[in-house]
Chains A and B, each alone.
Chain A
């Protein structure tokens, strides 16, 4: 298929259909509305169902019902709406239901703003709702990657019977880039013998996250934890110019795009910079990060938050390399020029033997 120019949100929606998703339940919120608008038009054309729910809470619980009934199903929202969905998300994690949740991040906290941000990182990768659980979290950086990761997201959700989050931001959702779609694959989709389809000729199936017996609930938690451990093999990342890099920039999504430009600009000025871009945020590509940072004297995270990713980078590098933060928030986007200045400052302070007070 030829390349077409598409908005990230629309490309994501089309990719969901090609991944076999036929059910969408959502509630309007900027900057992700193109996803639901696209699917409202497109899903009926392919025999699917689009429901605009009365709230994000209702929407995620519709997703729960549809996922429990065996369907490939998704919802999408942005910060405030994702907070409302947390109830349904933790229930789905507890009941082990597969689904895809898209968060096109905007600035917070509270109602915040509608411009791009990455300040829902902790919420996405640490669980987000109550209880011990994890989501698989995938962070695309281009419109094409939004498409490619969508199909993967549905496959991972089914394989692990777990919600998967696509963590984007307002820029990725709104921007247009050329994309290429693969034809919908008629691959064998996983059977779902656990789904509630009517107990025909078998014992009833029950979708449930309630375990009143503490011993049973602990067992269930251990089972979930083992599953999250198994997910570790699903790590995804990109290295750019890291082989000889003395300073590694780390960022995901839109921030990584900016950081990549900074690497080129720094190299043009003789600074050996590189970029490590985690694509899976949970599981986190820890080994790959350590490998990429083996020769580097310092690390700089570039993020649209007050410093969330930076904590995980320090943790995953086991506090062996100084990790600094360059963050913009509230819908402000890091400018390559400003990040480059910070890179130069760090490299020079390193030469002078100073350490930066903002590192660990």
Chain B
């Protein structure tokens, strides 16, 4: 199995850490992984993105030009990357901040208002990225929830482990939203 994922959003939405967590979860499962960030001034206030590869085989090229999955947390990111997604690929959209429809008709689209859900259900919109990551995990099974939690323990310093239950809850919220829903028949839940 080879999963190529691009995650994109505003700097500060947790796009980079979401990507790192995903890569780390793959590593926890003994898979081959890589994570490449966008870097430079665009990170400060502008859009940020990263590429994550999770593979059973050695990763030959970590450069992703045609992702299997695109996760976008803001509108500029959708506009920038939509065209690159592999035909038939997945598109996960934060509908709280993206008020336009994707142009492509050949993608499997899931819209979740994660910014609102984070605020309303969990009282913290800083875990919005975890909700969409949970949905990704449920839909692709690229890594397991347990691996993501295991990765969180490794990525977060000891003194921030008190945040793990909240992140866990956010992941499960995303999983519940995506559960049992076949991508092709499911265009929106938001």
A174 in contact with B37 given A5-B23, A264-B60 (CB within 8 Å): yes
Question: Max chain A CB contacts within 10 Å: which of B24, B32, B33, B40?
Answer: B40
Q: What residue of chain B has the Cβ atom nearest to residue A240's Cβ? A: B60
User: Is B139 engaged at the interface, CB distance under 8 Å to the other chain?
Assistant: no
A321 interface residue per 8 A CB criterion: no
| B94 at interface, CB cutoff 8 A | no
Q: A175 contacts B62, CB within 8 Å? A: yes
Query: A72 interface residue, CB < 8 Å from B?
Result: no
Q: Evaluate contact between B40 and A177: CB separation under 8 angstroms.
A: no
CB contact under 8 A between A174 and B39, given known A260-B61, A336-B63: yes
Q: Establish whether residues B40 and A5, one from each chain, have CB atoms under 8 Å apart when the complex forms.
A: no
Chain B residues, CB < 8 A from A257? 59-63
Q: What is the size category of the interface that chain A forms with chain B?
A: 20 to 34
Most buried by B among A171, A176, A254, A333: A176
Contact present for B60 and A177 (CB under 8 Å): no
- The answer to whether A178 and B33 have CB atoms under 8 Å apart is yes
A114 touching B63, Cβ below 8 Å: no
A189: interface (CB < 8 Å): no
Residue with the highest number of chain A CB atoms closer than 10 Å, among B27, B33, B35, B62 = B62
Does B115 make an interface contact (CB < 8 A)? no
Which residues of chain B have C-beta atoms less than 8 A from A5's C-beta?
A: 20, 23-24, 27, 33, 35
Judged by a CB distance under 8 angstroms, whether A146 is at the interface is no
Given contacts A3-B27, A5-B23, contact A175 B61 (CB under 8 A): no
Q: Does any Cβ of B come within 8 Å of A335's Cβ?
A: yes
- B65 and A175 form a contact (CB under 8 A): no
Chain B, interface size: which category?
10 to 19
Question: A31: which B residues are within 8 A, CB to CB?
Answer: 39-40
Residues of B within 8 A of A176 (CB): 20, 23, 34-36
Against B, the Cβ 8 Å flags (1 = close, 0 = not) of A240-271 are: 00000000000000100110110010000000
Question: Which A residue sits closest to B37, measured CB to CB?
Answer: A174
Q: Which residues of B contact A333 (CB under 8 A)?
A: 63
Q: How far is the CB of B146 from chain A (nearest CB, A)?
A: 17
A239 neighbours in B (Cβ, 8 Å):
none
Contacts of A335 in B (CB 8 A): 63, 65
- Tell me whether A290 is interfacial, beta carbon within 8 Å: no
**In the complex where A3-B27, A176-B20, A178-B33 touch, is A30 in contact with B40 (Cβ < 8 A)?**
yes
User: Cβ of B39: which chain A residues have Cβ within 8 Å of it?
Assistant: 30-31, 114, 170, 174
* A176–B61 alpha-carbon span in the complex (Å): 13
Across the interface, which residues of A come within 8 angstroms of B40, CB to CB?
Answer: 30-31, 114-115
Q: From residue B142, how far is it (CB to closest CB) to chain A in Å?
A: 16
Residue from B35, B37, B60 with most neighbouring chain A CB atoms (10 Å)? B60
In the complex, A181 Cα to B37 Cα: how many Å? 23
Q: How far is the CA of A176 from the CA of B27 in the complex (A)?
A: 11
B63 touches A171 (CB 8 A): yes
Whether A337 is near chain B, meaning CB under 8 Å from some CB there, is yes
Q: Are B36 and A171 in contact (CB under 8 A)?
A: yes
Q: How far is the CB of A50 from chain B (nearest CB, A)?
A: 22
Inter-subunit contact A175/B60 (CB<8 Å): no
Chain B nearest Cβ from A75, distance in angstroms: 21
Bitwise, B152-181 to A at CB < 8 A (1) or not (0) is 000000000000000000000000000000
B residues 1-52 near A (Cβ < 8 Å) are: 20, 23-24, 27, 32-37, 39-40
Report the Cα distance A114→B40, complex, angstroms: 7
Contacts of A264 in B (CB 8 A): 60
What is the CA–CA distance of A164 and B65 in the complex, to the nearest angstrom? 33
A-B contact pairs, 25 of them (CB 8 A): A5-B23, A5-B24, A5-B33, A31-B39, A114-B39, A171-B36, A171-B62, A171-B63, A175-B34, A175-B36, A175-B62, A176-B34, A177-B33, A177-B35, A177-B59, A177-B62, A178-B32, A257-B59, A258-B63, A260-B60, A261-B60, A335-B65, A336-B61, A336-B65, A337-B65
| Known interface pairs A30-B40, A115-B40; 20 further A-B residue pairs with C-beta atoms within 8 A, sorted by A's residue number | A5-B23, A5-B35, A114-B39, A170-B39, A171-B36, A174-B36, A174-B37, A174-B39, A176-B36, A177-B33, A177-B34, A177-B35, A177-B59, A178-B27, A178-B32, A178-B33, A257-B59, A260-B61, A333-B63, A337-B65
Q: Which residues of A contact B (CB under 8 A)?
A: 3, 5, 30-31, 114-115, 170-171, 174-178, 254, 257-258, 260-261, 264, 333, 335-337
